[in-house]
Structure 1
Amino acid sequence: MAWLKRARKTMNEEKIKKEEEEREKDVEIIPENEPIEVIHVKWVDLHIPANTKDHHTNRYYVTDKNRNKGKLELVVRRGQEFKMTILFDRPYDKNNDDIKLVFEIGLKGSLTKETLAMLELEDKQAENTDDWNARVLGQKGNEVELMILTPNDCIIGEWTFDVITQFVDNKDVVNQICYEYPENINIILNPWCKDDTCYMEKEEDRNEYVLNDDGYVFQGSAGQIYTKPWHFGQYDKDILDISLRLLRVGFGGNITNKMADPVMISRTIAMVVNACDEDEGVLVGNWSGDYEGGRTPSSWSGSAKILQKFLKDKQSVKYGQCWVFSAVTVAVCRALGMPCRSVTNFGSAHDTDGSVTIDWLYEKNEHGKLEKKSGGDSIWNFHVWNECWFERPDLPPGYGGWQVIDATPQERSEGVFTCGPASVTAIKKGELSMPYDAAFVFAEVNADIKKFEVLGGYQFDPLGEITDRVGKKISTKKIRSGNDGEGASLRNLFDPDRNREDVTCNYKFPEGSKEERKAVENAVKHAQFSYGDYVAPPKDLEVKLTDIDRVMIGEDLTVEVIVKNISESKERRTISVLTVEIYCCTYTGEPVGEAIKFDEHIGIELNYNECSRKLQSWGSNRL
């Protein structure tokens, strides 16, 4: 600490060498005019093996002496005591020796900004975990054992640690001797501490969402889900250091008390994992199919390698798509102690205009037939984001727990490419005025599709709506499933339900229920844009195609056509021709190439409320 340091006494080289050997390169800054009886620190033992075991941080590379052959660093969770032993050059006398422990984060600590803590040695344990505390556990000769408590809302990051001895010299000037511990003390979030807003009650949840460094991401479609094993690697070499650096970068290089708040920490992580803003982000997104200059997103299977490459090359890594962004986010969050999991939404909507609906626009061609226009809104086969667990002091009671964040760059939020945290509870209820980005996430899981004919002059004629296509089989990894330290078996990979937990009910009420429709109505009230008051056209026929998700390459395309007469006039209807257009699309819903169109004569007659099912097949040679 620069403001505490004083000039070192003039010593000969032999004495300097001897003292440095005794203190194992620890630093003590000694002023002039020092009385002989002043107490000195010879060394400090942070009991790294024991402390990290108690704090569930013993697997980090910097704490593991079996992997790290260099200097070990202490990693502790805030709101929980850790042990320290200080060896002095004589017995410590609490009545005469003025000792202070100083913890600091950043270039210049401040008591008011909570980036500096100066602790006196206490005789009793703190009554709560709200503040710093240093209590004497015991004393034996020149050694003093201490228990250090960090606050439950401490700024997370790399803290420095000094021991200050204060005395009055023979000129009645107050002086200080500063012993500088040579390594950082890394303080992270604590889901084991009841007073930390990241607290998780169940041990099995903490084991899965904080400690587990292996898992899965889910891909495919609602009808055909694929499992991809993934190594998050939050304990691997440099990952903690990279994660803390990213956090500092996300806050503009400044140490701020926002780095104590999981709400702001998670939002910042979602921003710095992508490289869209001027923030030196980790991953460059690419959905073009041309991955020259980097690796295809599908070739990655671990987060640690991506983060290590980011550190080594000192530039953003190419390339990622949603599941890669999500998996890297898991690694960073878990490294910092935040409970986090990867979540896949099948049939995921992307609302680009803030309407909280997916708007399909049609125009009549020269033959008077309606043709769909290419527009901004889309529905992806799947999209992968993250959930983090913490309380929301900034929201009314009841909206804590799982919070959505999304590092995949889609839309800007408050000027930058980030998303969340959005309360999953708020999303389910359609209460979208709560920060952050709840409306965007609601549309992803529960938007209605609305069809309009473009009439010109900003006039739109409603054509119909689909209310049950978006948000299917929202999935995350089951607790203790699959490759929990043992690797994933082929059986697990091709039987996703063995390791998949369906969390759709967390995001929405049962499709079509009164509660689900009310949530949609609540959501639309918060829309930033609308094509006007939507008045549904008269109902006539309901046509559904099913089982199209399970077609394999080279097979015939066979679908079940379900037609129901729902005409408001209750008159008989004759369906003579079924027109089907087939598009080849990327998983983001973008069409590739021209549509293949079929007009099939099916000849169905239906009375009111009558339903007909018919299998219709197109040979693979025609596709």
Structure 2
Amino acid sequence: MFKATPHVMTPTIREEPELLHILSVDACIEENGMNHKTEYYVIMQQKKGLVVRRGQPFYLNVKFNRDYDVENDILYIELKLEVEQYNYEQNYKVPKVLIPLLNSGELKTCWVASINSADKKSMRMKVNIPDGACVGKYHIQFDTLTKTTPPSNFTIDECLYIIFNPWCPDDKIHLNDEEQRQEYVMSQKGLIWTGHVGQVEATPWSFGQFNKDVLNIAFHLINVMAYVDVVDRHDPIHVSRALSALVNGNDYDEGISLRKSDDNDADEKQPQSFVGTSDIIEKFLKEKKPVKCGQCWIYAGVFATLCRALGIPCRIVTNFESAHDTDDNLRVERCFDSKGKEVYDDEFRGYSVWKFHAWNEVWMTRYDLNDERFHGWQVIDVTPQRASTRNGSYKSVYARGPIPVMAIKIGKFDVPFNAEYIFGNIDDDVCHFKKKNDDNVKMFYKVDRLRDGPNINTKAVGSLEREDITDTYKFPKDASN
């Protein structure tokens, strides 16, 4: 007979793992800068932030207090978009993106982080930015926890700047030609054509889109001054239109520049004294009010700088013999007395044909118009001649565009925003009237159909030559008509 020996069960005590803490994060400035073509931004060179383009991944090197346990540890990257309270519903908290860390996988259409490689107490993360991400300035926080412990936070002082990506085929501002990308996104120097039809002059302009403060100013305009809703910040249509209204200060919105009007005003600067955007932005930041220097080529130069800083392809276009139609009737009406002096009254209010007028073109897909003909170059006129007459929340705002160049060419005026206005600049009939001496009757006597918009130019790609792009705006006219 065997005597049973009692067996005492000893409970196993499982130790909780030490909480995972992040000790440091390396933003891989040089590597990400090269991959995203953002290495020229002063923000990057001074290591004051990470500038990346949406639609492609960036990398981070992270150091921990212990090895990362793929079975028990959980890690999130939390991005908080820098916004003002009125840019989103007050019932919600600050808009943020939670990016989970996955052990592996490749999801290009959403926010996700994955382990690219791991070593003792360190990890190389690959963070994917979807091509439809909102552009903006984000604050970065890491959250680490286990399945049984509360989270630990690690905040990075430097911000993440996300901009548009013309190299990404799925981005709405994708530009397929590398020479054009270099010219319209990366080039910091350019020419603006001024003068008149008989004597075209090249005015040098320094864009300086990578300079100190430019990117921050662009996001400040979108965030604080333009009131662009958070949900619209993925959209180059809304972003470019908002910027166009803020480059000029004529909406009492404290934009960058006001139109020059009085040579005796001590605050005003001669437009010719500026040869680039940086000096204007520096003066704007210092004085905290619009710089009184605005002429069409100044507005166009500043707007091109901001667009290129945000990654939107942008160029400056000059229209010679540019009509100014004040009532959108597609006619410029001028009246002269018997001595040839022009008459100004309630009926003839000073319609004019300028020697030249400069505006901008931006490149984007117009997905909102459901017509492939309207993809590509879009006109934006930043010069505050008149407030917008329609288009919802932009009514009474000094903004024109983006308007598809093709819509202007075929005369499709129901396309937003204010296509008829740009059409009037290049294709208005100039109607001449004569006033009799003995009464107030004005008699029509001739129409000039060939005068306005005979020559539309921009700087040629990769050279200092002038490119004639008139045929992109206008069909040839029969000189005999």
SS of the residue corresponding to residue 477 of structure 2 reads: coil
Count of matched residue pairs = 451
The alpha-carbon distance between structure 1 residues 445 and 289, as it changes in their structure 2 partners (threshold 3 A), is farther
- The 5 Å alignment of 1:180-219 reads 180-219=155-194
Whole-angstrom CA distance in 2 between matches of 1:440 and 1:289: 29
Whole-angstrom CA distance in 1 between matches of 2:478 and 2:232: 41
Aligned residue in 2 for 1:77: 53
Aligned residue in 2 for 1:373: 343
Gaps in structure 1 of 5+ consecutive residues: 1-33, 483-498, 518-623
Whole-angstrom CA distance in 2 between matches of 1:101 and 1:76: 16
- The 5 Å alignment of 1:601-616 reads none
Whole-angstrom CA distance in 1 between matches of 2:225 and 2:425: 26
Candidates 399, 419, 434, aligned match of 2:415? 434
Aligned residue in 1 for 2:446: 464
Any conservation in 2 of the 1:83–1:148 contact (CA below 8 Å)?
yes
The alpha-carbon distance between structure 1 residues 399 and 185, as it changes in their structure 2 partners (threshold 3 A), is same
Residue 343 (structure 1) aligned with residue 317 (structure 2): yes
Cα RMSD between the aligned structures? 2.7
Whole-angstrom CA distance in 1 between matches of 2:221 and 2:158: 20
Candidates 283, 293, 302, aligned match of 1:309? 283
Residue 409 (structure 1) aligned with residue 384 (structure 2): yes
Whole-angstrom CA distance in 1 between matches of 2:205 and 2:340: 45
Whole-angstrom CA distance in 1 between matches of 2:245 and 2:355: 24
The superposition leaves residues 292-336 of structure 1 with CA deviations (integer Å, 9 ceiling, x where unpaired) of 323201111011111111112211112121111111111111111
Residue 112 of structure 1: CA displacement? 9.4
The alpha-carbon distance between structure 1 residues 238 and 120, as it changes in their structure 2 partners (threshold 3 A), is same
Residue 143 (structure 1) aligned with residue 128 (structure 2): no
Residue 160 (structure 1) aligned with residue 160 (structure 2): no
Whole-angstrom CA distance in 1 between matches of 2:473 and 2:57: 38
The alpha-carbon distance between structure 1 residues 137 and 112, as it changes in their structure 2 partners (threshold 3 A), is farther
Whole-angstrom CA distance in 2 between matches of 1:424 and 1:231: 26
Residue 80 of structure 1: CA displacement? 0.9
Whole-angstrom CA distance in 1 between matches of 2:341 and 2:64: 84
The superposition leaves residues 348-398 of structure 1 with CA deviations (integer Å, 9 ceiling, x where unpaired) of 0111011111122356x6xxx786422232100001111111111111222
Whole-angstrom CA distance in 2 between matches of 1:425 and 1:124: 45
Aligned residue in 2 for 1:133: 112
Any conservation in 2 of the 1:250–1:268 contact (CA below 8 Å)?
no
The alpha-carbon distance between structure 1 residues 453 and 148, as it changes in their structure 2 partners (threshold 3 A), is same
Residue type at the aligned position of 2:413: L
Whole-angstrom CA distance in 2 between matches of 1:183 and 1:412: 39
Whole-angstrom CA distance in 1 between matches of 2:410 and 2:104: 47
Whole-angstrom CA distance in 2 between matches of 1:444 and 1:469: 11
Residue 242 (structure 1) aligned with residue 217 (structure 2): yes
Whole-angstrom CA distance in 2 between matches of 1:318 and 1:37: 61
- The 5 Å alignment of 1:135-534 reads 135-167=114-146, 175-252=150-227, 256-290=230-264, 292-362=266-336, 372-374=342-344, 375-395=349-369, 396-413=371-388, 414-452=395-433, 462-482=444-464, 499-512=465-478
Any conservation in 2 of the 1:432–1:439 contact (CA below 8 Å)?
yes
Any conservation in 2 of the 1:249–1:279 contact (CA below 8 Å)?
no
Higher relative contact order (CA 8 A, sep 6+): 2
Whole-angstrom CA distance in 2 between matches of 1:200 and 1:295: 37
The superposition leaves residues 417-446 of structure 1 with CA deviations (integer Å, 9 ceiling, x where unpaired) of 111111101001111110011100001011
TM-score, L = length of structure 2: 0.88
The superposition leaves residues 50-81 of structure 1 with CA deviations (integer Å, 9 ceiling, x where unpaired) of 101110100000111xxx3xx43100001111
Q: Alignment identity in percent?
A: 35
Candidates 99, 105, 126, aligned match of 1:119? 99
TM-score, L = length of structure 1: 0.68
Residue type at the aligned position of 2:467: E
Greater gyration radius: 1
My pick for the range that moved more, 114-123 or 135-144, is 114-123
Any conservation in 2 of the 1:291–1:319 contact (CA below 8 Å)?
no
Any conservation in 2 of the 1:250–1:269 contact (CA below 8 Å)?
no
Residue type at the aligned position of 2:246: V
Any conservation in 2 of the 1:344–1:382 contact (CA below 8 Å)?
yes
Whole-angstrom CA distance in 1 between matches of 2:196 and 2:29: 47
The superposition leaves residues 447-499 of structure 1 with CA deviations (integer Å, 9 ceiling, x where unpaired) of 111234579999975432111000022111111113xxxxxxxxxxxxxxxx1
Whole-angstrom CA distance in 1 between matches of 2:362 and 2:310: 12
Aligned residue in 2 for 1:41: 22
The alpha-carbon distance between structure 1 residues 36 and 94, as it changes in their structure 2 partners (threshold 3 A), is closer
Residue 239 of structure 1: CA displacement? 1.3
The alpha-carbon distance between structure 1 residues 150 and 459, as it changes in their structure 2 partners (threshold 3 A), is farther
Any conservation in 2 of the 1:131–1:150 contact (CA below 8 Å)?
yes
Whole-angstrom CA distance in 1 between matches of 2:478 and 2:18: 81
Residue 114 of structure 1: CA displacement? 10
Gaps in structure 2 of 5+ consecutive residues: 1-14, 389-394
The superposition leaves residues 34-60 of structure 1 with CA deviations (integer Å, 9 ceiling, x where unpaired) of 966211111111101110111010000
Aligned residue in 1 for 2:10: none
